[in-house]
Structure formats: C-alpha cells, structure tokens
Structure 1
C-alpha cells in the first residue's frame, strides 16, 4: 500500500512568498507617505519670510547708513534738500537719493559750490525728453554718414581714373537727390532745438545740465528681461534670450587703482550723453550705470539706478561701490538726503524768520497808519437835502447812456417829440416825400441836410460828438417851429 503524495505544495509556497513581498511593499509605501504627511503638516520648521521693518519703511537709506557707520564713517541724515543748510554741511560725501532733476536753481548752486570745495556728490540725472532724444539720434546719424563718406573717399582715391569719372557723376546725382532729406534733417534739428529751448524753462536740471547727462529706459535690457512662456523655456531661442538677459543685467566698473571689476545691477535704466556733453573722469564699461565727473576740487558721481537703497544695496557689489565712492574725498562724513519732499510751512517759516518778521512789521505799520488817519472827534452827519429835478434827469441820462439800448431810447424820445410838434404846426410838410421833407426842413432852419437826415432817420450814434449833434439838430428844429 503506497504513501499518499501532497500535490501543489511548491506552488502554494511561492504564492505565499509573493503575497508577503507585496504586503511589505505596500506597507513601505504607506509608511513613506505617512512620514511625508507628518513632516509636512505636523513638524515645525524655520522658514525665511521677507519682511520690512518699520524703520526700513520709514528710511529707504537705513541699510546704507548702518553699513557706512560700521566702516568708520560718520553719517547724518536730512529729510529733504529744503531742510538741509548746504553751506553749513560738513565736508565729505553727500548722497541725494532719487534726485532726478528736482533740485531748485538755488539748491543746485549751493550744492555745486559745496562740491568745488573738495567734496563728493552722488545724485541721479533727470529723464530725457523726446526732443533731446531726437537730437541724439540725429547726431548719431550724422556721424555715421560722415564716416561712410570718409570710407567712400578712400575707395575713390584707390580706384582708377576711368572708374572715378562715372563715380563722380553718380555722386553728383546722389547729392542732388539727397538735398531734400538733408534739409528735412536740418529742419528736424532746428525744431528739436526750439522745443528743447521751450522745455528748458519748465523742466530743467540745474544740478547736472552743465554735464549734459540724461537718464532713459534701457530698451534692450527691458526686452531681454521679458520672461518666456513656460512651454518655450527649453527652446534654443529662449535659452539664448535668457543668456543675453543675464549679460545685460550686469555692468562692470573698474575703480581707479584696482585690478578687478565690480559687478553692478544694470537695471532697466541707463545714462546717455547729450550733444556736447562733458567727458567723465571714469565710468563703467559702457557709461550707462555710473559716471564720475570733476567739479573744481571735488567729484560729482551720477548713477542711473538707486544702488544704495535698502532693496538694492545687498545685491551684487553695490555695498563695495558705496564704500569706494565715499573714499574719493578725504572727509569721512557722509550726508544722506533721504527724500526730496517739500519743506513744511512751519520749518520754512523758522528758516526764513527774518523775512517773516519784516513782513509782519510792514503790515503793522500800514495798519497803524490807517488807524492814525481816523483820530479826532467824529464829524456830524451831513444833512440830507432834496436834489433838484435836473440832477435826476442828468443821472437818468447818464444811466441810459451806459445801458444797452439806452442811447437809442433817448434819441427816439427826442425825435418823436420834435416830429409831433412839426406835424401840429405845419402838417402840409408831411405830405412831401421823405427826401423833400428833409431838404425843406434843412433849408428852413438853415442847417445841413445831412444833419437833418442823421437826426431824423439814422440810429443813435455810439460816439459822444455825433450823438450830441443829433440831439442838437432836433432841438434846433423844435425851437424853430415853436416860435
């Protein structure tokens, strides 16, 4: 009798092993998910959150102030240019935050005199006007045409005489055809200059006008910094554009005596020179971010962007640039003008108290003089007398003379009264035609016929002499027929 054999044992064992592995894998996934959920929702972690303190919000140059003090500079702040007494400011460096051509001529004159004594001024030029930009474009085109002309002259000298003759003829034709565009360009330049002169009285920058520097948007940087679409981010064109944006976002400045260049954030604003502008002592690579000019014994530093504000100072090498600019002059004192707001009235009154006192004294003197004239006993009131009839008539006539249609009313009243009198005395005259009537009246009363026609037929004259002649003619007729 044989032994029973158990079938399927190996297959059942493999099935149990696979189930165990699957269960372990599922538990592992659930454990990992649970750990992630707990870590994300239940664990406390430190995260960096951008926050601006109340002190930084009130003072946009707070970071620059603390940096300068940590490096051995003494810093004083002024709320505005109006609060700052420039002649009494200590020597060293002055930072005018966000000037942009808002200084008044008197403030600019005091600042420039302060700089010429051997100090440093850091400011920003005002924005360029369309007329000024048109002049710059025209100057660039003129220079390009001049260079092209020089190249063509060199090519003409190298050419043979046979080739030079047709080229000269073609040059004459081209010159005749280009006369109108040249004239148009000259007219545009003249118009731009006139527009600039008109705008100079309304929008000037007395602090930097003699340097010939303006600020304008950097069109190429703005265009390159445009973010591409998410779907086009990995395309070669988008990658090339991003690389160009990174290159345009930096300006390099090598300080005098240094071997390395500082990296500055070029931003979306650049500086540009007007026609006949002064040449800077040194600047960044393209002169669009930082320029340093000599002014007497001192220096004027023009920056295109606010590199030293709380938000910009930690970026790139802006902090090192600030420290380097404060070393241009021996003085270690730095004055920071935080804003260019208008001076409050009470501070302006305290500043110019001499003028206020003089004005108050003049007003008091005028009031005293007007009061002195009224000293003495009070005069009795005059007796009210009745006016004559002629005064009322004269006043009525004066009022009618000034009122609308008043002169015509006076003339028609005198005319109707005279004609009524003549009609009662000599009714036969009114059977005549109008022309014969005027001639008969003029011959009878010995007055010109034109005066009779003017008095009886025409409207009231606006001139006093003619109106008086009309009334006098009517009175003569009336006197003649009343006898």
Structure 2
C-alpha cells in the first residue's frame, strides 16, 4: 500500500477527532419550556385557569355557559361567579337569585362595563350619576356613570379595575374597598343569610391575569372565606353582539365604499338647479307624412313613373307568391288569367300595368289605385 493514501486517512481521522472533542467540550444541554397554544375550553372560557386553580385547592368547581339556578341546583353554601352584564338578568332569574341569596348563597358579580352610550341615555332620562341595574339596585348597590379609574396595589403589584365601573352602596356592608369620593371597587353586601360580592370588574380572574401576584392574592381572598363546604359555579356568558352591530364594527370596509358609491350615484342623478331647459321638440313627421313627402318630391321632379314602377313591382312580387302560373305568363294571356282571378275589367288591368305619361297626374293616380286594388285581391 502506498504511504500517501494512508497519510490522508490519518489526517482526516485527526480532523474528525478534533471536531468531536471541540463539540463535547463546548456543548451544554439546556432545557427550555415553550407554552403550547391553548385549545378547547382554555380558548373560549377566560375562567378556565381559575377553575383549574380552585380544583387544585380541593374545591368543587363547575363551569356553566348560562345562569340557570334550577338547572345548576344551587345549594345553601354554594358560590356563583357571574361573568356577564348584570343588566341581562331578567326579572324571573333575579327573583330566583334573591331567594337563593336569602337562604345562604353567595353571588359574585361585577357592575356593567363602561358604556358611553348608556351613560348618555341615562343622563338624558334625568338619572345622571347612576346607571340603573335592577338586580343591584334592590340590594342598595348603585353603579356610577363616567370614566373608570385604576387602583394601584403598590409594591409592584400592578393596577386593578382599570376597565371597571365604580359604584356606591346605600346600606350596611361587611367588606368595603374604595371611598365615597371616588366610588367603591369591591363591596360585600349582606343579603338575608347570604352575601352579595360586587366588584368593579372581574378581569383579574381571567387565565392570563391570574399569573400576576396581586391578582392571585385577591382571588384567594375572594373565594377563601366560604370554607370548603359549597360548590363554586363559574358562569361565563358569551355576549354575542347583534348582527347590525357586528356589521357596523367589522363590515365597514365593505359598506363604506358601497355607501360612497351610492352617494355619488344619487348626486349624479339628482335634480339640477338652474334655468328650465326647453322641452325637446316632438317628431316633425310620422311615417305616412314621410311617405307623402317622398311621393311629392318624386312627382315634383318628374319621376312619377318611379312611383308607378315601385307599386307595380310590389304587385308582381305578390303575384309570384300567390299565383306562380299567372306570373309566368306574358301579354294578353296573363291579362286574361288576371281578369279571371281578380274579377276586374281587362282594360283597367291593361292600363294599370302600363307606365303613365310623365306629367299625367290623373292617369298616374288612377293606375296606382287600380294596382292597389289588384294587389289586395290576390
């Protein structure tokens, strides 16, 4: 074996060994956690993280899509968290909740979300300052109108209730958070043997918000005092906007150009202001008037024979269609055949087929009339 290939093989092995040694010396195994995208209920229900957290603490938790005290079989020591607009609770549900609260239940609910249109309508009705909410008003809780304001937790805990509507309580409370000047953000109001917890908003209980230290502590305090006896019902209501509101918010890219096009078309078709335009002149001659004028023109310039020839050609054309045998004849034989068919004198037929003199108006009219009569009798 030649020494040169052996040298090349040893050199390649040395390079591979050096690369492996460098890799093993510099390589370091590192673990990395990657959050997978959420699926199922974790996407559609913002209270999914709260349900899992309470279940890990040994609490009995149930999730619901709508508030139905009969179907939920609420017990005396149960807690209901209603994540929805309290104005959507009708009179029947409101009476059922009041009866359940009087028996020892606990309801956690938030004031309606800020809505400038609702505040304006409330002010127009002479109720400026408080938004009417029947369920809360019966327990002395009055929701304020106006812009929301945050509460700073301090010590790096962040801010809460930045999108909530503050409220006032006219009556005894067991827990109060806030002041009379700025309004309350949390109050626990006694309701018979039960309790009504009212908050400015429930955003701190969502899955993403619970990762904050201050939010988790507040959630623990909110659900801790009731002990482990009752079931916690988490009701997340999906408020679907109306079709017209959805089209207004999401479909403006379509309806706005169409509206502009319609406005432009209407502007082009609108009545113009200015002096009145004269009405268009009607047609000066009808069809018969044009025919008469053409005949008079031919006669004036000595072409009466053309008028006679045109009508004679029309007669022969119909004769060929109705009686080809008579049309094939010539001279007196054809005249005799026409006399038998048309029942007209032979002299009249003979004169009608001859061209009249150029300026003989009476002869032209008589022969044209005879041709018309002969044509109609075919």
Q: How high is the TM-score relative to the length of structure 2?
A: 0.45
Query: Highest relative contact order (Cα 8 Å, sep 6+), 1 or 2?
Result: 1
Structure with the higher helix share, 1 or 2: 1
Rg larger in structure: 2
In the superposition, the TM-score normalised over structure 1's length comes to: 0.36
